């Protein structure tokens, strides 16, 4: 996958039009369309801006190859979509890594919730103690 195709794929994954991307880059729509067709050379500054708009590192944008796994997360319309590009073995490995990360994050959230509940119980006990002392 060529860089211009990657840029188009990410843009489409985010459900953005060429007009929206052109506006974000302060370019004309025709200029941006030429960029996606590979008719315009991209300088580092423009690539950094595109990566920033996509919310990804420049290295990630540049390093995506036809054999790697490439994720595109859509954000519009209140729905999240995810497209995968790459070989199935690499994709499976990446999916498993992400599942492990999600499981770990779920565990962290559960631990945080337990700590919050404990703090709430402590606050309740202290409030009862304050009320008891006020009553005396």
Supply the pLDDT for residue 44. Answer: 86
Same domain, yes or no: 121 and 60: no
CA-CA distance, 72 to 11, in Å (whole number)?
Answer: 9
Domain stops at, among 44, 67, 86: 86
What are the mean pLDDT values of the chain's consecutive 10-residue runs (136 residues total)?
Answer: 87 93 95 93 89 87 58 48 54 80 93 97 97 93
Place of tokens 């423009």: 46
Other C-beta atoms closer than 10 Å to the C-beta of 66 total 12
Supply the pLDDT for residue 130. Answer: 96
Supply the pLDDT for residue 65. Answer: 47
Domain that holds residue 55: 3-86
Q: Is 55 left (phi over 0), alpha (psi -120 to 50) or beta?
A: left
Same domain, yes or no: 128 and 118: yes
């Amino acid at each position: 996958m060529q860089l211009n195709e990657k840029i188009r794929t990410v843009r489409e994954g985010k459900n953005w039009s060429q007009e929206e991307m052109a506006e974000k880059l302060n370019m004309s729509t025709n200029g941006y369309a030429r960029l996606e067709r590979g008719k315009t050379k991209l300088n580092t500054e423009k690539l950094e801006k595109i990566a920033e708009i996509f919310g990804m590192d420049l290295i990630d944008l540049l390093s995506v190859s036809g054999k790697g796994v490439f994720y595109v997360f859509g954000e519009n319309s209140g729905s999240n979509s995810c497209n995968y590009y790459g070989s199935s073995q690499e994709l499976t490995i990446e999916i498993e890594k992400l599942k492990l990360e999600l499981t770990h994050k779920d565990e962290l959230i559960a631990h945080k919730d337990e700590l919050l509940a404990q703090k709430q119980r402590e606050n309740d006990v202290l409030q009862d103690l304050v009320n008891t002392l006020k009553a005396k």
